[in-house]
Amino acid sequence: MKLNGTSSNTPHNRNDRDGLEIDRLLIDEMGDDHHTSSIDTPMRPDAFELDDELKVDLIEEHFREIMNILGLDLTDDSLKGSPRRVAKMFVKEVFSGLNPDSKPKATLFDNKFRYNEMLVEKDIIVQTYCEHHFVPIVGKAHVAYISSGKVIGLSKLNRIVDYFAKRPQVQERLTIQIAEELKKVLETEDVAVIIDAKHLCVSTRGVHDINSSTVTSSYGGKFENEATRQELLRYISSTDITI
């Protein structure tokens, strides 16, 4: 957080500077190794002390400085609005899932049809950002659950996926967060989530591999049974259904 022109994370003495240098060496040594620290998105306790408009103003200021350091001419008509556009995009769009106020309200309904088989919502678009390089991860999520007596509106499944995607992410964490939220909302352990996505940090930099994708999964309750899991995978791979 920036206050009066200084950052709360700015080193102020030799020990701080030495610590920062050690962190940089560790990051360089880690390179592109995939790493995640916890199931919860890492957030500071004071994450919501600033309102969104102030966050936009501060990010605009800092991104303008980044563009200046890169040598870009911010007097150019095409570039002069970019710091503001990026700041608004970060706060109000692509990272809006950091704010718990954005969390979709999920209403449960009685399963009056007594439908006791699995329900599968497949090919849900996933658009998130890699928290290591802040470039997009794009793919599809497949979500399934078996009702414990309650059902949820289909669009809420999409909204829950989108909510957790709209934050800096690691795909493994995103998969687990969606699964755990659905278990809580649906009041059942019988939930499965599969994500198949391409990472632009792999395709546009580093190894520049444009063909590979990453698949992650979380199986709970009845989906831990091999036969149930295979049934789900058949539904996901099916292309026979036409509308």
Strand residues in 21-113 grouped as ranges (E): 108-110
In the residue annotation, 201 being an active-site residue is answered as yes
Q: Give me the catalytic one of 127, 133, 172, 231.
A: 133
In the residue annotation, 35 being an active-site residue is answered as no
In the residue annotation, 199 being an active-site residue is answered as yes
Q: Give me the catalytic one of 132, 142, 169, 181.
A: 132
- Note whether 220 and 126 are within 8 A (CB): no
- Note whether 107 and 151 are within 8 A (CB): no
d(Cα 74, Cα 89) in Å, to the nearest integer?
Answer: 19
In the residue annotation, 133 being an active-site residue is answered as yes
Q: Give me the catalytic one of 61, 121, 131, 172.
A: 131
Q: Give me the catalytic one of 60, 169, 171, 177.
A: 171
β-pairing, 118-130 vs 168-169, is parallel
Residue 143: name the closest of 236, 237, 239, 238 by CA.
236
In the residue annotation, 62 being an active-site residue is answered as no
- By CB atoms closer than 10 A (0-12, 13-18, 19+), residue 124 is buried
d(Cα 141, Cα 178) in Å, to the nearest integer?
Answer: 10
What single-letter amino acid sits at 208? H
What single-letter amino acid sits at 117? E
Q: What is the sign of the dihedral through the CA atoms of 186, 162, 206 and 60? A: negative
Mind telling me the catalytic residues? 130-133, 171, 199, 201
